[in-house]
Amino acid sequence: MNNIILRGADISEFNGAIDFEKIKKNLDFVIIRCGFGSDYLHQDDEYFERNVKECEKFQIPYGVYLY
């Protein structure tokens, strides 16, 4: 059995504006928070769209979650 270790990070607005070109070298994937709670605008993660666009731009695999 092959033991494969992948490196990932959980990112959200609390990380601020991430330099995705820089983190790409150290991560295999990221998990992006899209918000928390219920369907209220003030609960959306302010960096969600930016984080998704940057992952796609730098071809970093990602998943999303609602906390």
pLDDT confidence tier of residue 8, bands split at 50, 70 and 90: very high
Return the sign of the alpha-carbon dihedral for residues 18, 21, 24, 26.
negative
- Distance separating the N- and C-terminal Cα atoms of the chain: 34
Quick: pLDDT tens for 15-37.
Answer: 999 999 999 999 999 999 999 99
Model confidence at 10: pLDDT above 70: yes
What residues contact 66, with CB distance under 8 A and at least 6 apart? 33, 34, 35, 36
Label residue 2 by pLDDT band (50, 70, 90).
confident
